[in-house]
Amino acid sequence: MSISCADIPKLPGLESITFRAGLTGGQRIVRWPYVAENESIQAWVSGGELVFVTGINHTRDEQNLGQLIHEAAQSQVAGVVILTGPEFIQKIPKSVLELANQYQIPLFEQPYNLKMVVVTEIISNAIVQDNLLGKSVRLFLSKLINGFQQAPELIHLRAKDLGISSQSAFVGLSLSYRLKDATQTPSANQQLQQHQQIEQALEALLKRRHIEWPVLSDEKGLLAVWPTQKNELTELYEDLTQLRERLQSNFPDLALSMGVSSQKQGLEDLSTAVEEARQALQFAIKHPHQKLFFYEQLGIAQLFAAIPQRNMLADFCKQHLGDLCFCRDATSLEMKSTLEHYFNHFGHLQQTADAMSVHRNTLSYRLGRIEQKLGYSLQDPFSRLNLQNALLIEQILFHHHNLDDQSPLLTKD
């Protein structure tokens, strides 16, 4: 739903602006036009700008133009437009074009006879109109996600007014991210900037696939809609794996996890799709070796999630996890993590120890402490089954209720 660099030459009145280099970055989102009036742009941009370089106020030789491309890449601007003509910048040097290709920074050429006041007005109006439409679409989708009841006929009519398809097949995506280095504590401003960068990157990747659905901010991450065709699950898995890997390569310092709903048909199922994606995301977060999780993979967890009597599920957890149930202290979390690794490796001690990067004797000691804590042996297959299900249900309850230490479900008997 946003204006990208690739859209600029397609806007009515801007047909004489040509795409010269950095085509692979064409889906970068344009937040606003900015005319560079200083020798350097780095102190004057914050990311997402389409920077116009006229050469009127400063001499823009080959060295300076190359410097601007460097700064554009470092500052995450959307792209650069260089005005050429007989008076100031006669042509764009080859080295600057090559640098733009290297950094994947979209680089355009604009003739001087195309007035800047006209260009900035056209782009600004397009961005404002797109933002207004985008806000309307986001509000509409947010209402559907949050369970706002509407008749299917009204949903289809409103979707048609907004120019979006209401009856196409799709899956819901839920994406979360966190710093790999847990010792880092970014400021609130850094967190906001990081969120915006990930949102823009995801939106650009969707637009590259000709997916016009907006990206929505979720409580702890982002939500997106991915159109699908029936019976294309293998292709869908490959596409979404590639999507997550591309995002991960753009943000190497973050751990990105993604949950995917089952396939749905029509916007009236959007709320269900998002809830399924959120549930799948919780398992992707919990399994470090599988960062893309599909709802269909949850198996029996789908049944637990569908049980309306949450107190009954909480009682089951307390019965089999004992004092570990809902505890979030470091010792309890370590014990539950050890159990999960143990179950995931089918009780194989050496494989579990290797996965946890601990000595086998250390693992055996931990398991012994856990048995003492629980009051029963892990060698009993029925006890193991109940314990594994209790851990699974605990994850579902934490996700479903956003539980904290004050939740009535956490009170001990």
What integer pLDDT is reported at residue 236 of this predicted model?
A: 82
pLDDT at 82 over 90: yes
Confidence of residue 406 (pLDDT cuts 50, 70, 90): very low
For residues 227-254, give the mean pLDDT.
82
For residues 328-354, give the mean pLDDT.
87
What integer pLDDT is reported at residue 8 of this predicted model?
A: 95
Lowest mean pLDDT of 17-26, 94-103, 200-209, 238-247, name the range.
200-209
pLDDT at 196 over 90: no
What integer pLDDT is reported at residue 300 of this predicted model?
A: 61
pLDDT at 365 over 80: yes
Lowest mean pLDDT of 50-54, 95-99, 367-371, name the range.
367-371
What integer pLDDT is reported at residue 323 of this predicted model?
A: 87
Percent of the chain with pLDDT over 70: 90
For residues 120-134, give the mean pLDDT.
89
What integer pLDDT is reported at residue 322 of this predicted model?
A: 87
> How does DSSP assign 312-355, residue by residue?
HHHHHHHHHHGGGTT--SHHHHHHHHHHHHHHHTTT-HHHHHHH
* 336 exposure class (CB count in 10 Å sphere: 0-12, 13-18, 19+): buried
What integer pLDDT is reported at residue 146 of this predicted model?
A: 81
What integer pLDDT is reported at residue 411 of this predicted model?
A: 45
pLDDT at 184 over 70: yes
For residues 160-181, give the mean pLDDT.
85
Confidence of residue 214 (pLDDT cuts 50, 70, 90): confident
For residues 226-240, give the mean pLDDT.
78
For residues 193-212, give the mean pLDDT.
82
What integer pLDDT is reported at residue 218 of this predicted model?
A: 79
Q: Please state, in angstroms and rounded to a whole number, the distance separating the CA atoms of residues 276 and 174.
A: 9
Confidence of residue 89 (pLDDT cuts 50, 70, 90): very high
Give the residue with greater pLDDT, 303 vs 281: 281
For residues 315-329, give the mean pLDDT.
86
Q: Please state, in angstroms and rounded to a whole number, the distance separating the CA atoms of residues 119 and 122.
A: 5
Lowest mean pLDDT of 46-55, 305-314, 355-364, name the range.
305-314
What integer pLDDT is reported at residue 404 of this predicted model?
A: 43
pLDDT at 84 over 90: yes
H-run or E-run covering 202: helix 188-208
What integer pLDDT is reported at residue 1 of this predicted model?
A: 57
How far is C-alpha 37 from the geometric centre of its chain's CA atoms? 35
pLDDT at 217 over 90: no
pLDDT at 5 over 90: yes
- Whole-number average pLDDT of the chain: 85
What integer pLDDT is reported at residue 301 of this predicted model?
A: 61
For residues 84-94, give the mean pLDDT.
93
Contacts from 222-225 at CB under 8 Å and sequence distance 24+? 222/174, 222/175, 222/176, 222/198, 223/145, 223/172, 223/173, 223/174, 223/175, 223/274, 223/277, 224/172, 224/173, 224/175, 225/141, 225/170, 225/171, 225/172, 225/173, 225/270, 225/273
> Which residues, 6 or more positions from 106, have their beta carbon under 8 angstroms from its beta carbon?
5, 6, 19, 21, 22, 23, 25, 26, 28, 78, 79, 80, 100
* 32 exposure class (CB count in 10 Å sphere: 0-12, 13-18, 19+): middle
Structure tokens at 265: 């048909």
